[in-house]
Amino acid sequence: MLLTQVSVPQVSVPFSPEQASTFAPHVDALYAYLLLITIFFSTLITLLLVVFAVKYRRRQPDEVPRPISGSMVLELTWTIVPLLIAMTIFVWGASTYFKAYRVPHQAMEVYVVAKQWMWKFQHQTGQREINELHVPVGARVKLTMTTEDVIHSLYVPAFRIKQDVVPGRYTQLWFEATKTGSYYLFCAEYCGTNHSGMGGHVIVMEPTAYEQWLAGGAGAESAAAQGQKLFQERGCASCHQTDPAGQQGRGPTLYGLFGKQQAIEGDGTVAVDESYIRESILDPQAKLALGFQPIMPTFRNQVNEEQILQLIAYIRSLGQPQGGESGGTAQGGGGTTTGPTTGGASPTTERSNPLAPTSPRQGNPSPQLPPRVGQGGAANANRRQ
């Protein structure tokens, strides 16, 4: 009888997902610290229970234990030691949290719209993807996310990042991939019947390969250019000026507005950011800019979340210096953008890992605020969208 040797493949179960981002080691270190503390005190308490149960057991039926008056040293020890451990967990956890949720000033920006049951990504250069996101290795990537329906949650285990995506608002997340490859992403918040199928991949590429991938979609319009078209089609230009030399219209001038503080009715101010612009498009009267009449109509149910993000990209590009935000170029009136970056950084300065030199992370220069802005601020222009 002939015996044939059959090789059985070995199946390895990893203790944790692969570390593929600059943030992953920080999360794993904190998790390991918590795990070691848990193991140590669980073992210590179990051993003490066994030792005390044996040593101080009742040996005679009529035995009466001696009274114990207490110990100040013992009381202080089991109060101070847990306090110190809890404080180290708090400080370490807070530090890790701020690293995760403080988005760098210089980062390539990608807009994300969640929908039952898919992830839609749009790059600033115009490329659109569904359930796939291509990024270069070593570049900081900022995700500005919203949803068209219910709450979702974007989770990439290999990057140790997770963030809820909430209807009616923008949430942000960032990462910097350190290894090329394909990494699974999925929705971590139950969102309906096909929740388990709402997944995809982040494809991390070498910079040259990423540039080639971008070139493959060279015909795509940038997000800002698409936003400019919407701005014109919806008649926003009839009330909102985008030229620095233009006269003030019935709505606030949008040139150089993004990122500034806007005075509103009621002696308050509001930061002109993505959330404010979105609110002003959908609910123009919510925060009325000081000095303007409430004549802006709402564009609720007239523009979708992707179009709102395109308008935001256009308004954001107005007044940005050459080579600044929105990528390689940003023209004040045209809103045209090229290049993969949006945070005031070139692809070289975005890199912060050893694959390339690290440049200082500096904030974006802020153009001069135009004369008073109103009517929902920048959003008013958007509302025309």
pLDDT above 50 for 372? no
| pLDDT in the model for residue 182 | 94
- Residue 180 reports pLDDT greater than 80: yes
Residue 164 lies inside a defined structural domain of this protein: yes
Q: What is the pLDDT of residue 9?
A: 62
Do 228 and 212 fall within a single domain? no
Instruction: Examine residue 351 and state whether it is found in any structural domain, yes or no.
Output: no
How far CA 207 is from CA of 62, 65, 134, 326, in Å, comes to 81, 75, 11, 19
Are 208 and 299 in the same domain?
A: no
Q: Which of 158, 188, 220 is the last residue of a domain?
A: 220
Is 325 part of a structural domain of the chain?
no
* Listed residues 172, 188, 220: the one ending a domain: 220
CA distance 380 to 270: 14
CATH of the domain at 305: 1.10.760.10
Mean pLDDT across the stretch 41-66? 89
DSSP state of 233: H
Q: Tell me: do 247 and 373 sit in the same domain.
A: yes
Q: Is the pLDDT of residue 11 over 80?
A: no
Cα distances (angstroms) measured from residue 244 to each of 56, 82, 107: 85, 60, 26
At 5 the pLDDT is 61
| Average confidence (pLDDT) over 313-323 | 72
Per-residue buried b or exposed e for 280-312, using 16+ beta carbons within 10 Å of the residue's own CB: bbbbbeebbbbebeeebeebeeebebbbbbbbb
Q: What is the pLDDT of residue 332?
A: 35
Could you give the percent of the chain with pLDDT greater than 70? 77
Identify whether residues 82 and 133 lie together within a single domain: yes
Helix or strand (DSSP H, E) at 338:
strand 337-338
Could you tell me the pLDDT band of residue 113, with boundaries at 50, 70 and 90?
A: very high
* Claim to verify: residue 84 and residue 181 sit in the same structural domain: yes
pLDDT at residue 171 above 70? yes
User: How big is the chain, counted in residues?
Assistant: 385
Query: Are residues 176 and 304 located together in one domain of the fold?
Result: no
Q: Considering the domain boundaries, does residue 299 fall inside one?
A: yes
Residue 230 confidence (pLDDT): 83
Peptide bond between residue 213 and the one before it cis (omega within 30 degrees of 0): no
Q: What is the pLDDT of residue 330?
A: 33
Query: Where in the sequence is the domain holding 293, given as residue range(s)?
Result: 223-319+367-383
What CATH number does residue 193 fall under? 2.60.40.420
Of 188, 220, 252, at which residue does a domain stop?
220
* pLDDT band at residue 335 using 50, 70 and 90 as cut-offs: very low
2 φ/ψ sector (left φ>0, alpha ψ -120 to 50, else beta):
beta
For residues 202-217, give the mean pLDDT.
88
| 333 within some domain | no
Summarize the confidence of residues 29-38 as an average pLDDT. Answer: 94
Based on the fold, state whether residues 236 and 371 are members of the same structural domain.
yes
Domain-embedded: residue 138 = yes
Whether residues 137 and 214 fall in one domain: yes
Q: Is residue 314 part of a domain?
A: yes
Report the domain count for the chain. 2
In angstroms, the CA 338 to CA 18 distance is: 33
**181 and 109 inside one domain:** yes
230 in a domain, yes or no? yes
What are the E-state strand segments in 124-232?
A: 128-130, 132-136, 140-147, 152-156, 161-165, 171-176, 181-187, 199-205
Count of helices and strands (H, E) across the chain: 8, 14
Same domain for 228 and 375, yes or no, is yes
Whole-model pTM: value is 0.69
Residues 99 and 182 in one domain: yes
For 291-309, write each residue's pLDDT tens digit: 777 788 888 878 888 888 8
- CA separation for the pair 11, 5 (Å, rounded): 19
